[in-house]
Amino acid sequence: MRDCKGRFAPTPSGDMHIGNAFCYFLAWLSARSQSGRIVLRFEDCDRLRMQPEAVGQTMSDLEWLGLCWDEGPTPGQTEGPYFQSCRTAIYDRVFEELRARRLVYPCFCSRQDVRLAAAPHPGEDAPVYPGTCRDLSAAEIDVRMKKRAPAWRLRLEDKTVCFCDALLGPQRCEILSERGDFPVRRADGVYCYQFTAALDDALMGVSEVIRSNDLLASTPWQIYLQQLLGYAPPTYLHIPLLLDENGSRLAKREKSLSLRQIRRHYTPEEVIGRLAFLAGLQSAPEPCDLAALAAQFSAERLPREDIVLPPALFSACREA
Ligand code: GLU
């Protein structure tokens, strides 16, 4: 069995909200309960969506909560880089390998390139790609290349990807018909989320991925790519989303319950106690200590259904 290594993989596009904190809290607890390490990596390939101050704010929020990491963009770290925007040379190398193996092909279909690289979220899932550019001849490719730069897609085999989610149980996906060839690189040269996340998890030795269930549909693609490149995929655990009282998912762009706001009104122990309560790890939202939670953590106790945040739980932020 390999040593446990978990990860935090924030996209620094705004302030961390309570749903992000919930995810990192569980990733931390799970890794620490197995004496594992944690890597912090910033998913900032799509520079247009990023907010420069979000990196410092995210690290400060994580440290304030006590969710420390072992590897990440901290002075003195020798591995990495831990910003995806600085890993282009690594992505280029793997992309060229896939190209040499004829496993990627240029795609000229018009799509919103920005959407191609984003982690998909409900309502924004890309439709299954119908394979329009899969079998273009070399001559057709030449003609089209002169008009516009293509995106590049991975050519999938028609096979079944199976994995066992540590919370949701066995999962099975007919990868070609249910997901379709996925974009690896956008027309503007930016590498796409599925490619960079799967590759970095493999290269960074991540053995356990804990993230929100809105990314469950991405997992078969990521496992497929890791296997194609000869890596053993990590285990996956997809946690429920935290929803606001209207049943909508929290989003950075809506500034819903950010840690920046919460820190003005609550202590770290109070926030951890509330997160533990939401996760079903304690029966009341009492302040509590991370180390004590890690000592008795078991993923089986986590809820499977999305969780509506009780409005009273962070009432001090609402009243402010
Ligand atoms: N970077 C993504 C986010 O912050 C998470 C991706 C992942 O966990 O694979 O939503």
Alpha helix stretches (DSSP H) within the chain: 18-33, 52-65, 88-100, 113-117, 138-147, 193-203, 219-228, 259-262, 268-278, 290-295, 315-319
Question: What percent of the chain lies above the pLDDT cut of 90?
Answer: 80
Three-state DSSP at 138 gives helix
**What would the pLDDT profile of 102-120 be if each residue is shown by its tens digit?**
999 999 987 654 355 455 6
Q: Is the CB of 9 under 6 A from ligand 1?
A: yes
Fold of 88-192: Glutamyl-tRNA Synthetase; domain 3 (3.90.800)
**What would the pLDDT profile of 48-91 be if each residue is shown by its tens digit?**
899 989 999 999 999 999 999 999 997 666 678 999 999 999 99
Q: Is the CB of 72 under 6 A from ligand 1?
A: no
Cβ atoms of 302 and 30 within 8 Å: the answer is: no
pLDDT of residue 114: 36
Cβ atoms of 298 and 238 within 8 Å: the answer is: no
pTM: 0.93
pLDDT at 174 over 70: yes
Ligand 1 centre distance from Cα of residue 45 (Å): 12
What is the pLDDT confidence band of residue 320, given thresholds at 50, 70 and 90? Answer: low
Ligand 1 centre distance from Cα of residue 181 (Å): 21
Cβ atoms of 219 and 191 within 8 Å: the answer is: no
**What would the pLDDT profile of 230-289 be if each residue is shown by its tens digit?**
999 999 999 999 998 888 888 765 566 899 999 999 999 999 999 999 999 999 999 999
**What would the pLDDT profile of 202-214 be if each residue is shown by its tens digit?**
999 999 999 999 9
> Does domain 5-84+205-211+239-319 bear CATH number 3.40.50.620?
yes
The domain limits of the chain are 5-84+205-211+239-319, 88-192
Three-state DSSP at 25 gives helix
CA-based nearest residue to 259, from 5, 85, 10, 45: 10
Q: State how far the alpha carbon of 116 is from the alpha carbons of 40, 102, 127, 175, 279, in Å.
A: 24, 21, 11, 18, 32
Tell me the mean pLDDT in the region 166-181: 95
Separation of alpha carbons 251 and 214, rounded Å = 12
Q: Is the CB of 215 under 6 A from ligand 1?
A: yes
Tell me the mean pLDDT in the region 22-44: 97
